[in-house]
Amino acid sequence: MQARTQRFKFARRNGKEIMLKTTITFSVFLMVVSAFGLLFFPTKMLSVVGIASNPRMNFLLRVSGVGVASLIPGVWVVRTAAPSPLARAVLSGLAIYMFLSSVVDFLAYTQSIVNTASIPSIMLRIVLGSLIVWSIVKEKSQN
């Protein structure tokens, strides 16, 4: 009976690890797509949310793309890293990015700066950020 319980605990822990790994992988995929779009297609990225493009806006989006691109390697490494304070810090930074970017987009939506195309992105980032925070809290409480 005890061996069976141990296997079940391993399966549950492994399931949490798989969920976190999948969440991080999906987040990295979205960040790669976003960074690529911001860096190379800023006019198209602006048009999706209904903002007219100009050279200054394109410059600002490209600068934002550099910031998003710079997060990708650190987040990717944490995907397979052992639980540690450093891994939690990187994941916390990713969750903060998800939440704050959602707040910025939501405020832009409430002020009619962007159109309704930004709503699914806002919701998705809140869900991903929440999953990441939940994983951090669960991992921390088990140690």
Asked whether the predicted pLDDT for residue 8 surpasses 60, the reply is no
Model confidence pLDDT, tens digit, residues 75-130: 999 988 888 889 999 999 999 999 999 999 999 999 999 999 999 999 999 999 99
pLDDT at 7: 39
Between 34 and 83, the higher pLDDT residue: 34
CB neighbours of 23 closer than 8 A, spacing ≥ 6? 128, 131, 132, 135
pLDDT at 6: 41
pTM here is 0.82
The chain-wide mean pLDDT, for the chain, equals 88
pLDDT at 13: 55
pLDDT confidence band for 143 (50 / 70 / 90): low
pLDDT at 10: 37
pLDDT at 12: 47
Mean pLDDT, residues 30-59: 95
